[in-house]
Structure 1
Amino acid sequence: MGSIDDMKHLSLNGYGTASSVQELDALIVGAGFGGAYQLWKLRNEGYNVKLVETGTNYGGVWYWNRYPGARVDSAIPHYEFSDPALWKDWIWKQRFPGSAELRAYFAHVADTWDLRKDTKFNTFVENATWDDGEARWTVKTREGDTFSVRYLLLNTGFAAKRYIPEWKGIEKFQGTFIHPSYWPHEEPNLKGKKVAVIGTGSTGIQLATDLSKVAGFLAVFQRTPNMSLPMKQIDYNLPEQALPKPKYPDFFHHRTDSFSGFSFNFLPRSTFDDTPEKRSETYESLWAEGDFKFWLATYYDMLFSEEANREAYNFWRDKTRAKIHDSKIADILAPMKQPHAFGCKRVSLENGYFEIFNEPHVKLVDMRTTPIQELSETGIKTTEEELEFDYIICATGYDAITGGLAQIDIRGPSGESLKEHWKDGAKTYLGMSVAGFPNMFFTYGPQAPTAFCNGPTCAELQGNWIVGVMNHMREKGLRKVDAERESEKKWKDEIWKLANASLLPSTKSWYMGDNIPGKPREPLIYLGGVPTYYKTVNECAANGYTGFKLEK
């Protein structure tokens, strides 16, 4: 039998067997951009750190998103890390890479940074409990691992918890019912099949566009029009890229200078500063460039003024309706009367999406006028008809931003869980920490720029700040850092103030938590822009981490 000290490092793993407790400086949860960057950065700073991930490889959301048409809508080279060791020999094939190429990039990152030696895949974190005396987190996984860690670093991303509506009869359907993030690794043969795509977010749009080329019959179920913009995809003439490699350092250095973490920013004038002719010329120029330019490089008042927003919508509407042959279909996809504020629901990028509805085998179902009643053995019943399908693809999104964090049973010193702490709405300080949950930080979460910030930009910005806190704690011999409740309250007030200055609250969207029944309605994203956020968090650090309580 082992010594008492040996026994301290054994625990029952919930499956009736003993496993050793792994002691670490930090445990990182999630192998997307945020997790990969933190593992590399913290290891370089001399910390004993490991990463756990539910999937079987690096990639984050791109590990899961394998559905037909899946691709990123951040243009290259925005969507990559700034470390020269990664970009100097890496060549992208397209302006907007597909999911397979993104997984290859993550494999390149994992190899170059030698991440896998400190990574455990197929591991789902179930709970974490804070011990105030030890000033450590005890973290347990579904697979039976136990970790004792000084810092808990959550990088679950904003799309970690799927959402499937509770339609009557789902269990009856005899065909294949699938959420796109569970797409089979072996591609199913959909050629000639009858396929339903429910949902017209970015996933639904990408799926429908690709499946329209192979399905015998495709029905797209739309609840709300998606004011999708032309992607303007480019296949590179390899090895030529969008930007010459010598310009990369300067490009990455200025990523935090724009509202969204891209290399473009809003125009320094308002919509009606220009004459109608000049405005039309400006819109045409932004439209021709593709990408998110028409959304995030347009007039600075577009997201704040109803009149300015309507002007942008009208241009979008007329451009979009011109692609659609049937005026009744056009009325559903791009209504003459603006249905909601442009750019205040997630804008997608499309590559021929609107044109698919000119094809005879593609049907558009307007769920506002003919909602889904139930699923049957053979398909979907609406209030108007029953349609037969071989595949029903439920592109209904996620419990976005908070869902991935709240699904872990995390309990601070008071015994209150994070889910309970957030039952009336998200509460954070700086969008990276929560009062009453010491030594816990997260990236790409609620009340940070998140979905209004390019992923790698946010991963590096927030990752560097978190490493800075940990280095400060180490240098000062401190054991515990916890956000103050007053700081948390002030930050939430600031989130609401910024949101209310915009048109965002006027529109139902997952930015406001509207897509999940019973979820508190609130702005989940910091709308001050990346430069202001960057300045705010850095001032907090420079002033000795104001708003936090630091203890020995």
Structure 2
Amino acid sequence: MGDAKAQFDAIVIGAGFSGMHMLKSLRDRLGLNTRVYEAGETVGGTWYWNRYPGARCDSDSYIYCFTWDRQLLQDWEWSERYPEQPEILRYLEHVAQRHDLKRDIRFNTRVTAGHFDEATDLWTVQTDAGETATARWLITAVGTLSARNIPEIKGLERFQGKWYHTSNFPKGGVDFTGKRVAVVGTGATAVQAIPMIAQQAKQLTVFQRTANYCVPARNGKVDPEVVRARKAEYDAIVRRIRESPFGQEHYAIPKSVLETTPEEREREFDRMWDQGGFAFWIGNYQDMLTNPEANEICADYLRRRIRRTVKDPAVAERLIPKGYYYGTKRQPLDTNYYETFNKENVLLVDAKTDGAIEEITERGIRAGGREYGFDIIVFATGFDAMTGPLTALNLRGRGGQPLQEAWADGPHTYLGIAVAGFPNLFTITGPQSPSVLTNMPVAIEQHVEWISDCIDTLRREGRTRIEALPEAQAAWGQHVNEVISQTLFPTANSWYMGANIPGKPRAFLPYLGSEGVGGYRRHCDTVAAEGYSGFALG
């Protein structure tokens, strides 16, 4: 139990990359009395909760880190191109220690409700520890993928074995040795976990609803010369990723794939395939995500790769995506994913050809009229993305309006950072901001800096309230939808569209601006330079 009613200048919810940087900025840059609430027992956020086998970042490590600590960029040595979860968590623990962040974080404490008081311009927050706290500024740093989605499959409570969701694995891990294991799902998480589990399990059965286009990660040690060269030019790298479309050093090929010869594009496709990472997704020909004909040419290359890798032609066909355009869903990076289906102990059960999951029984899973026996079921079924973590906070704005109600038909924000009717609330990487379509630390740092500058300006001007105007919010929502409607993204049933959650309104959740996170940064800077146009200040 904490103080009866603790008072702070600012309250931050969450202590992952976002919350840690926000605390550092508010406390040490602005001198604000700041409290962070974190449901986990330590810092890390995503990297605390997601400890499934094979969990690793999929942006290159040299840019998947904080850039505000310039000395740390020089001092820290990453072991691989894409470090695994324990290493990223060690990095975040190191940052917390280096900047003495933990003294202002209340761990093992979940925020259960918050409401805005119009008379005092203060937020009051309740926690599951029975604590009540007030603050002028409330900042959510809850992450975009933290509200886990456990599908409502009949009979789960009857299952006699053990089951886990990938975002809530036991600390010591799970021993799959000699076990019959089911993995439900084939998204980015499953693509990382399946090859690892297959190495241990006696038998692994993968339940696939929708096949995914995977591209190779090409993980491994980074050449020490490359590391040295990057450290020598970090200032330029930081500038480039901040101005880039996706917070990465990947840029589209500035021509149409339809203007190329088959030989030329095959060479480019091979180059991107061999380079690994997101090159094939965001460094491809510029019309891949806007022109169906161009998209088909790129997708055909990936289909040929799958057929070449998977030995059984029938299994290969089931692993080839159908019914949506390449790149319109989250791009999984794989290490031996397709190769795993060549193993004797791995079975693919595809909802379309073998039958969907009907129920979970005492002994396993029934699908397509057949029962499969399991000792362990792993749900790699993703998240109620972007909006789920925010609506779960039970926030009430002016007039006591719940956020869930304000977003009943999908998210409404201004810049993905503020919500009309919810004064003094800032959402780091909220819906309708670039967030999940970028290298997250770049998106996070932009928001933290903008929010800090905003609060600093308001305080210097003696103001106690800032709120997005409904008309600015409506115009932003329209802009988000106009931009995305010029692409192929809305045609897919992806979690970007909220399509993975039954009954969730169909809306494109992130923001894909014409110049990505770089263009978005410039737009936010203009809003601030104009005295926070689109906001009412009080």
Work out whether residues 86 and 108 of structure 1, in 8 Å CA contact, stay in contact via their aligned partners in 2.
no
Q: Is 1:180–2:166 an aligned residue pair?
A: yes
- What residue in structure 2 maps to residue 230 of structure 1? 216
Amino acid in the other structure paired with 2:221: D
Name which of 357, 373, 387 aligns with 1:372: 357
Task: Give, in angstroms, the shift of residue 239 of structure 1.
Answer: 9.3
Task: Give, in angstroms, the shift of residue 127 of structure 1.
Answer: 0.5
- What residue in structure 1 maps to residue 368 of structure 2? 383
Amino acid in the other structure paired with 1:247: E
Amino acid in the other structure paired with 1:540: V
Query: Aligned equivalents of 1:300 and 1:373: distance in 2?
Result: 42
Work out whether residues 259 and 266 of structure 1, in 8 Å CA contact, stay in contact via their aligned partners in 2.
no
Name which of 46, 50, 67 aligns with 1:65: 50
Name which of 330, 333, 339 aligns with 1:346: 330
- What residue in structure 2 maps to residue 423 of structure 1? 408
Instruction: Give a deviation string over 1:429-463, Cα, whole Å, max 9, x none.
Output: 00010000000001122001111011110111011
SS class of match (2:93): helix
Work out whether residues 321 and 330 of structure 1, in 8 Å CA contact, stay in contact via their aligned partners in 2.
yes
SS class of match (1:272): helix
Q: 1:472 to 1:302 in 2, by over 3 A?
A: same
Work out whether residues 243 and 519 of structure 2, in 8 Å CA contact, stay in contact via their aligned partners in 1.
no
Report matched runs for 1:291-310 at 5 Å: 291-310=277-296
Q: Is 1:539–2:523 an aligned residue pair?
A: no
SS class of match (1:159): coil
Query: Aligned equivalents of 2:266 and 2:209: distance in 1?
Result: 30
Amino acid in the other structure paired with 2:518: P
Work out whether residues 197 and 395 of structure 1, in 8 Å CA contact, stay in contact via their aligned partners in 2.
yes
- What residue in structure 2 maps to residue 108 of structure 1? 94
- What residue in structure 2 maps to residue 27 of structure 1? 11
Name which of 135, 140, 151 aligns with 2:121: 135
- What residue in structure 2 maps to residue 404 of structure 1? 389
SS class of match (1:414): helix
Query: Aligned equivalents of 2:40 and 2:161: distance in 1?
Result: 26
Matched positions, count: 533
Task: Give, in angstroms, the shift of residue 137 of structure 1.
Answer: 0.3
Work out whether residues 85 and 112 of structure 1, in 8 Å CA contact, stay in contact via their aligned partners in 2.
no
Name which of 359, 362, 367 aligns with 2:343: 359
- What residue in structure 2 maps to residue 193 of structure 1? 179
Query: Aligned equivalents of 1:431 and 1:392: distance in 2?
Result: 36
SS class of match (2:60): coil
Task: Give, in angstroms, the shift of residue 533 of structure 1.
Answer: 0.8
Query: Aligned equivalents of 1:57 and 1:240: distance in 2?
Result: 33
Task: Give, in angstroms, the shift of residue 366 of structure 1.
Answer: 0.2
Query: Aligned equivalents of 2:117 and 2:71: distance in 1?
Result: 39
Q: Is 1:314–2:300 an aligned residue pair?
A: yes
Name which of 125, 130, 135 aligns with 2:111: 125
- What residue in structure 1 maps to residue 145 of structure 2? 159
Task: Give, in angstroms, the shift of residue 240 of structure 1.
Answer: 6.9
- What residue in structure 1 maps to residue 377 of structure 2? 392
Query: Aligned equivalents of 1:348 and 1:288: distance in 2?
Result: 16
Task: Give, in angstroms, the shift of residue 367 of structure 1.
Answer: 1.4
Q: 1:85 to 1:111 in 2, by over 3 A?
A: farther
Amino acid in the other structure paired with 1:459: I
Structure 1 residues not aligned, in runs of 5+: 1-12
Instruction: Give a deviation string over 1:373-395, Cα, whole Å, max 9, x none.
Output: 11110000112310100000011
Query: Aligned equivalents of 2:359 and 2:54: distance in 1?
Result: 28
SS class of match (1:75): coil
Query: Aligned equivalents of 2:325 and 2:430: distance in 1?
Result: 24
Which shifted more, 92-101 or 186-195?
A: 186-195
Task: Give, in angstroms, the shift of residue 205 of structure 1.
Answer: 1.2
Name which of 500, 507, 529 aligns with 1:522: 507
Work out whether residues 37 and 105 of structure 2, in 8 Å CA contact, stay in contact via their aligned partners in 1.
yes
Which shifted more, 424-433 or 83-92?
A: 83-92
Instruction: Give a deviation string over 1:291-336, Cα, whole Å, max 9, x none.
Output: 100000111111111011111100111112110000100101125x
Instruction: Give a deviation string over 1:183-208, Cα, whole Å, max 9, x none.
Output: 00012221010000000011111111
Instruction: Give a deviation string over 1:168-220, Cα, whole Å, max 9, x none.
Output: 11000000011111100012221010000000011111111101101000000
Work out whether residues 37 and 106 of structure 2, in 8 Å CA contact, stay in contact via their aligned partners in 1.
yes
TM-score, length of structure 2 as denominator length: 0.97
Instruction: Give a deviation string over 1:212-258, Cα, whole Å, max 9, x none.
Output: 10100000011111101100011246697375312112111221222
Name which of 227, 236, 241 aligns with 1:255: 241
Instruction: Give a deviation string over 1:478-503, Cα, whole Å, max 9, x none.
Output: 11100000011001101110110000
Amino acid in the other structure paired with 1:29: I
Work out whether residues 77 and 243 of structure 1, in 8 Å CA contact, stay in contact via their aligned partners in 2.
no
Amino acid in the other structure paired with 1:347: Q
Amino acid in the other structure paired with 2:146: A
Query: Aligned equivalents of 1:468 and 1:492: distance in 2?
Result: 24
Query: Aligned equivalents of 1:33 and 1:163: distance in 2?
Result: 22
TM-score, length of structure 1 as denominator length: 0.95
Amino acid in the other structure paired with 2:358: Q
- What residue in structure 2 maps to residue 49 of structure 1? 34
